[in-house]
Amino acid sequence: MISDEQRATIRRLFYGEHWKIGTIAAQLDLHENTVKAAVNIDQFVVRGQARPSTLDPFVPLMRDILKQYPRLTGTRLHEMLRARGYSGSAIQVRRKINQLDLRPRKTEAFLRLDTLPGEQGQIDWADFGMLRVGSGQRRLYGFILVLSWSRALWAYFSFDQTMSAVVRGHVECFGALGGIPRTILYDNMKTVVLERDGEAIRLHPRFIELKSYYLFNARPCPPRRPNEKGRVERSIRYLRSSFFAGRHFSDLADVRAQFETWRNEVAHTRKCPQDKTLTIAEALEAERPRLLSLPENPLESADIRAVVARKQPYIIFDTNRYSIPHEYVGIAVTAVATEEEVRVVHGDDEIAHHRRSWLKSQTIEDSNHIKALLDYKQRGRELKGRELVLAQIPQAEALYIKLMDSHERTQPHTSKLLELIELYGVEPVREAVELALERGTPRADSVAYLLEKKHTQKRRLSPRPRFERREVDELHIKNHVLEDYDEL
């Protein structure tokens, strides 16, 4: 009840100052119904029948369309009604939708899903931005496994989401948690589900091998149903806000080291939602005996690919070039990559072994591969020159045999012999080679010495030229003493 004085104040503010009912109620700290009773607002309400709307005949059609397409916009629905004869505006259509509540409600109720210890785990990938690697950057991904009962978690961080990373993620998470949940929930990632049509699912062959090896049951969730693996979704949000926020990392190893510390000192010290008397770490210890046991040896998680070096002695793996022996150019070989190394094998033989680079567009070389290629090219050039020498002087083959028996390089001798052939001609060099072999000095410099010696002797024995005029032959030239010119 209000006093007569309050009633008078309300009527003055409403009729004299033209305040609204809500304003009066807020200023006088009264309920709106009390203010309405004081001003007798019912006298202003006109009772009568509502006027019919031109949209009323279209209401059943609107209800059917929105039932079939609940997310259809009011503007598009207005266009459909105009094609059927409606002349009103889109505002009236949207107003009628809200007034009659024609659109199906989006809110959906979900049951709380409780699981037994060791019965279920949930897995998903998450993108955690860029991480500096050397002078460049690479995107950092996290493979997260959460046990549904204890909420214990583990994350494997990687620079890719390939099938080999999926296998490594499972191996790392199972090992860190000390066991395997009997059922694991996934979304429809391509490394798990190759194809899906309703409940018909075709799994990736490598993933089938993985789940067969570790004996767990995989259950991909239906598309656009993240609520079914809400525990891992919440854990990813928790990682972003509690672990990554405000932290700095030097490299991938630093991310993993800091995560392990944070997980043990922060994440696993929280209370377990299933049993508030336990921390998550204590709940994990209680759940671990219910998990499937780990096999004696982990599944091989290397990334194995068939590759071919086309023209140069390098294979390309993850945008980087790794050297191989030159004799395998053009031959199909196999690259076996782990996080630490890249091996190249051909059959049962390992032909190259490199440390893996996480930079991009790099060239990683083994100096022995490059040296062997250079030696091969050098020998190729030597063989071409040697063939030219032997084609002109077959006797030189014995000279080459003796040089190779003494483990001496033949290329300098080949170059010298080609030079002598050009200077003296083929026949003199052939004779000199035969003589050098007879004297037991099968070397190019010995051949050159013999040629020079023979050429010098020939010059000495050659007669002096004579002229037809006698006076020229009898001409005597006096040699002057050059020291006399120094006095001038």
Helix (H, G, I), strand (E, B) or coil at 116: coil
**Average pLDDT, stretch 136-165?**
94
Residue 404 lies in a domain: yes
32-75: per-residue pLDDT in tens?
888 888 887 656 555 555 577 888 888 888 888 888 888 888 88
What are the φ and ψ backbone dihedral angles of 343, each rounded to 5 degrees?
Answer: -110, 145
Domain count, the chain: 5
Give the CATH number for residue 228: 3.30.420.10
193 and 238 in a single domain? The answer is: yes
* Integer Cα distance of 432 and 446 in angstroms: 8
pLDDT (0 to 100) of residue 208:
93
**pLDDT confidence tier of residue 27, bands split at 50, 70 and 90:** confident
**Average pLDDT, stretch 297-309?**
92
Helix (H, G, I), strand (E, B) or coil at 304: strand
Q: Comparing C-alpha atoms, which of 435, 351, 422 is closest to residue 385?
A: 422
219 and 281 in a single domain? The answer is: yes
Residue 444 lies in a domain: yes
**Average pLDDT, stretch 91-108?**
79
User: Under 8 Å CB-to-CB from 320, ≥6 apart: which residues?
Assistant: 357, 359, 360, 361, 362, 363, 364
251 and 348 in a single domain? The answer is: no
70 and 210 in a single domain? The answer is: no
| Highest mean pLDDT, choosing among 56-70, 167-181, 384-398 | 167-181
230-252: per-residue pLDDT in tens?
899 999 999 999 999 889 999 99
Percent of the chain with pLDDT over 70: 87
* Integer Cα distance of 476 and 467 in angstroms: 14
* Integer Cα distance of 405 and 442 in angstroms: 11
281-299: per-residue pLDDT in tens?
999 999 999 999 999 999 9
CB 236 within 8 A of CB 126: yes
- Range scoring the smallest mean pLDDT among 82-86, 195-199, 363-367: 195-199
161 and 239 in a single domain? The answer is: yes
138 and 278 in a single domain? The answer is: yes
The H-or-E segment that residue 196 falls in is strand 193-197
Q: What is the DSSP code string of 22-83?
A: HHHHHHHT--HHHHHHHHTGGGG----PPPP-TTGGGHHHHHHHHHH-TT--HHHHHHHHHT
**Average pLDDT, stretch 325-354?**
92
pLDDT (0 to 100) of residue 390:
83
Decide if pLDDT at 463 tops 60: no
* Integer Cα distance of 159 and 142 in angstroms: 9
Classify strands 217-220 and 183-186 as parallel, antiparallel or unpaired. Answer: parallel
**pLDDT confidence tier of residue 383, bands split at 50, 70 and 90:** low
pLDDT (0 to 100) of residue 155:
96
128 and 260 in a single domain? The answer is: yes
Give the residues across from 305 on adjacent strands: 335
Structure tokens, 98? 């809200």
pLDDT (0 to 100) of residue 46:
52
pLDDT (0 to 100) of residue 486:
62
Give the residues across from 193 on adjacent strands: 203
189 and 251 in a single domain? The answer is: yes
pLDDT (0 to 100) of residue 176:
95
Residue 485 lies in a domain: no
**Average pLDDT, stretch 192-221?**
89
pLDDT (0 to 100) of residue 333:
94
Decide if pLDDT at 120 tops 60: yes
Residue 356 lies in a domain: yes
Higher pLDDT, 389 or 471: 389
State the Cα angle at 352 between 350 and 355, rounded to 5°: 120
Residue 468 lies in a domain: no
400-453: per-residue pLDDT in tens?
888 888 888 888 888 888 888 888 888 888 888 888 888 888 888 888 888 888
* Residue 25 structural domain: 4-44
Give the residues across from 283 on adjacent strands: none
240 and 201 in a single domain? The answer is: yes
Residue 410 lies in a domain: yes
Residue 135 lies in a domain: yes
314 and 424 in a single domain? The answer is: no
Residue 62 lies in a domain: yes
270 and 155 in a single domain? The answer is: yes
260 and 165 in a single domain? The answer is: yes
Classify strands 341-346 and 349-355 as parallel, antiparallel or unpaired. Answer: antiparallel
Q: What is the pLDDT of the chain when averaged over all its residues?
A: 85
